[in-house]
Amino acid sequence: MKSIIDFLTDLSQNNDRTWFEANRERYKLVKQRMDEVAAEFIEALASFDPSVEGVQVKDATYRIYRDTRFSKDKSPYKTWWGVYVCPHGKKSGFSGYYMHVEPDQNCYMLCTGAYCPSSGEIKSVREEIMTEGDGFAEAIRTAEGFEVDWSSALKRMPQGWSAEDAHSEYYRLRNYVVVKMVDKEYFLQPDAISHIASDLRCSRPFNDILNRAIQYAHEMGW
């Protein structure tokens, strides 16, 4: 991981095409390492969650090049690295497991869940909470060391959902994600991927519930 973190740190301080071209050979080596780590991550997750078996590295990783067409920030390169592993790949809409490294923001984290789900998928998850709320809440408690991300939650109860329901607070979520913040040393420890997968294992019940609801939404055409 050190070569990845070091490269992203240097890139954040030199985010321009001239520097990148001068360091392209270095980037190629780092990209190879990124792909190796991503493959190791997928394999480690599949050891406890067979639903992600066979996911390809290209379907779990992101290009380093930023799309600046509609952004005021014209920096050409991403200064973070993330790997998102879910059934059928990152564009499938399913919930999954994510690790994120962003040295210039001192942001290192693990996540499980569904980010930016569609309105139909949100509806299905809320129905799951309405009918099986105790199981949903227990899955969150089981994800030891992780916390629900409330940063994008609605301030008010969404229309059509009752505040009287036992677990109604979760209706306000728009992203169904649990997060564990870590530090740089966490990613630099020996056998980091084994430790990361071990920590994410406890969030599988939460992931399973979300994917059951998302699958239902897809089957219903929501």
Confidence class for position 70, pLDDT limits 50, 70, 90: confident
Helix, strand, or coil here: 73? coil
Task: Please state, in angstroms and as integers, the Cα–Cα distance from residue 158 to each residue in 121, 154, 155, 170, following that order.
Answer: 15, 7, 9, 10
Sheet holding 107-114, edge to edge: 81-85, 96-102, 107-114, 176-182, 147-148
Domains by residue range for the chain, with CATH: 2-220 (3.30.930)
- How many CA within 13 A on the CB side of residue 110? 25
**Amino acid in the structure at residue 214:** I
Distance from C-alpha of 204 to C-alpha of 48, rounded to nearest angstrom: 8
Q: Could you tell me the pTM of the whole model?
A: 0.95
pLDDT digits (tens, 9 = 90+) for 72-85: 889 999 999 999 99
Residue 122's pLDDT is 98
**pLDDT tens track for 137-163:** 999 999 999 999 999 999 999 999 999
Neighbours of 218 (CB within 10 A): 16
